[in-house]
Amino acid sequence: MKYAFSNICLFVFLLTAVSCSTDVQQETSDTEIPQDVDSLGLQLTNYDKNIQSLIQDPNGLIRGFSLGMDSELIKSKNSSLQKVDSTTTSYTYSSQLDAVEAADFTYQFANKKVNRIEVVVYPENEYRQGVYYRELKNYFSSKFKTKAMEEGNSLSWTVPTQDLTIRLTKTGSKKFHDLQLVFEKLK
């Protein structure tokens, strides 16, 4: 009887210790992840396949391009995309992200250097617009380690270390649910 009582006491003690330990571990892991920080990180494979196709190369702002790049690089690196328009101050290319979703990329430049990049994404529907919006918010917040400022249907990031501002805006109408993404120098 004494042996059974000792075993029960030991069992209750261990159960209590394990329960307390688990709660502490859970509490610690909850506090390690700051609010509004993306759990997907910068690994493009963690994102929707069309986000991967849109961003393509995380080494720039989008598709490997950055502000200040030589305008001739834009031509050579976008040779696989359909050229939509070309002027003395801008190039526009179109990319089919999948069978129903596409994006247009407009690179504006002055003195042969990119000074503004505008991307218009054409999602299939309102739900897909929300997917792009959330995932791009997560991606850029994680990439630049800064929280997005939200105002209505628009998000913006200010990155003083790169003299950069980014705006992501839900545009369109009841029938169309586009997104506009703009990268430009701080004003």
For the chain, the structural domain boundaries read 1-32, 44-185
Reply yes or no on whether the pLDDT at 32 is more than 70.
no
The predicted-structure confidence for 110-137, as pLDDT tens digits, reads as follows 999 999 999 999 999 999 999 999 999 9
Reply yes or no on whether the pLDDT at 172 is more than 70.
yes
The predicted-structure confidence for 143-159, as pLDDT tens digits, reads as follows 999 999 999 999 999 99
Rounded to whole angstroms, how far apart are CA atoms 95 and 102? 6
Question: Which pLDDT value is given to residue 84?
Answer: 93
Indicate the pTM of the whole model.
0.76
Note whether 129 and 168 are within 8 A (CB): no
Phi, psi dihedral angles at 28 (to 5 degrees) = -65, -45
Reply yes or no on whether the pLDDT at 161 is more than 60.
yes
Question: Which pLDDT value is given to residue 21?
Answer: 44
Helices (H) and strands (E) in the chain, counts: 4, 8
Note whether 162 and 145 are within 8 A (CB): no
Between the alpha carbon of residue 117 and those of residues 93, 95, 182, the distances in Å are: 11, 15, 6
Can you say how many angstroms the Cα of residue 60 is from the centroid of all Cα atoms in its chain?
13
